Amino acid sequence: MKKILSLVLISALGGVLTLGGYKLFVEKENKVVVETTQTTPNFLPTSNINTLYNTTEAPDFVSAAENTVNAVVHVKNVSISKGQMTFEDLFFGRSSQRPQLGTGSGVIINADGYIITNNHVIKNAQKLSVTLNNNKTYEAELIGADAKTDIALLKIEADEDLPYVTFGDSDNAKIGEWVLAVGNPFNLTSTVTAGIISAKARDLSGKSIQSFIQTDAAVNPGNSGGALVNTNGELIGINTAITSQTGSYVGYSFAVPSNIARKVIEDIMEYGNVQNGILGIRGGSLNSKASEELGINDTEGVYIAEIVEDSGADQAGLEEGDIIKKINNIKISKFSDLTGQISSKRPNDVVQITYSRDGELNTIPVTLLKNNTFTIPLVGEVKNAKPTDLKKLKAKNGVKIIKLDDNHSDYWSRNGVTEGSIITSVNDVEVNSVDDIQKALKNQLEYHSLRLELINTKGEKDRFNFSR
């Protein structure tokens, strides 16, 4: 009996010692293992701030989209198309002219029904109609258009105040900023796409006459004239173009900056046409190759190769060889930057030009003037003549040739015509200004039936006829 009790006590004591050892050594070690498995995995960023998962920082497009879709309209343009004459047309004596329907988008810019769109959306329109997001349709009146900027202004008469988009400042738009494109691609109404601003002051012409905002928001045929808005719902551009070999979106789209579009429609409303102010320079963008050819170190900015006589730049004291670096404290890296800024200004506006001369930066005010120059095909650039110009050559009227056409300068020099000659008549119309020349050449294609009378710098009168 005693042996049995001894065995039980020994077994119990062994159990206690075993359990105590487990609690003391084994269980503590397991706790350490568990804790280490809950540490941050080594493939995550070491920073304590993980912006990738911070949903409060994500852009919210809902409010901007809701406000914009109600102010973007569907524009329909009925024009007359001159199709190829078919056998049936000839047999039945029918005309080859047929109505053709074109569609695009537009943006309501005030409660009274003024709508901004692209010029190419309404070009050659015989009839215009506008459909709102609530499916109401109105006939639209064309108030005015500008082919150069591809902007047009329409007006509809609604029986109620209309929703509209307010203008933002496109100069303040930043590369990388989120934007929405709203329009009617492929006749699909009220379509919203998102992207970022990819570039600014983009020129598609190769002539530095354009200054588009480039985005990667999807834009397709039918989006033309629609809105490009920021996340606040402010209009910063009018969607205008895409570059594509297929005709559909491939990753890039382009919009007229709102500052340019706004200036154009305000001019149309106030003056009936666009008031273009000019700086009065000729030149080009700088890069490594151009700088090497010119023998200068700068690779950014606009190099002034020529100053237009009597222009704002001439009167302010800018000189050939100066490099424009800023305008109104906005950096100028290439000519399209300068084009974009000047396009948003009017005659008599004063701009602050920061330029480099002999390595030193200077800033001067320059008053933009009305463009008093015009390019005549085959001839070259002419400007309004001053009384002293006319008196010098004993001319009663005329415009002054300030730059001959590069492709035909040899012809003119052989015939005794040089820069400074006075053109007195164009197509048998006496001219006193460049406006007279534009009227005389209206509806003329290139140099079809171009007739000129002029007085050369020797005071000799001559007449030239061109036709083809």
Q: Within 13 Å and on the Cβ side, how many CA atoms surround 156?
A: 29
Sign of the torsion formed by the C-alpha atoms of 424, 429, 433 and 434: negative
Is 248 one of the catalytic residues? no
Closest CA to 145 of 121, 170, 162, 109: 121
The beta strand positions in 72-177, using DSSP E, are 72-82, 97-108, 114-117, 125-131, 137-139, 141-146, 151-155
Cα maximum dimension of the chain: 152
Catalytic residue among 74, 105, 120, 356: 120
Structure tokens at 129: 């109609």
Say whether 457 sits in a helix, a strand or coil: coil
Catalytic residue among 224, 258, 311, 343: 224
Say whether 61 sits in a helix, a strand or coil: coil
Under DSSP, the state recorded for 41 is P
Is 406 one of the catalytic residues? no
Is 224 one of the catalytic residues? yes
Antiparallel, parallel or unpaired: β 151-155 and 141-146? antiparallel
Catalytic residue among 146, 150, 267, 337: 150
Q: What b-and-e string marks burial along 179-212, b requiring 16 or more CB atoms within 10 Å of the CB?
A: bbbbbbbeeebbbbbbbebbebbbbeeeebebbb
As annotated, the active-site residues are: 120, 150, 224
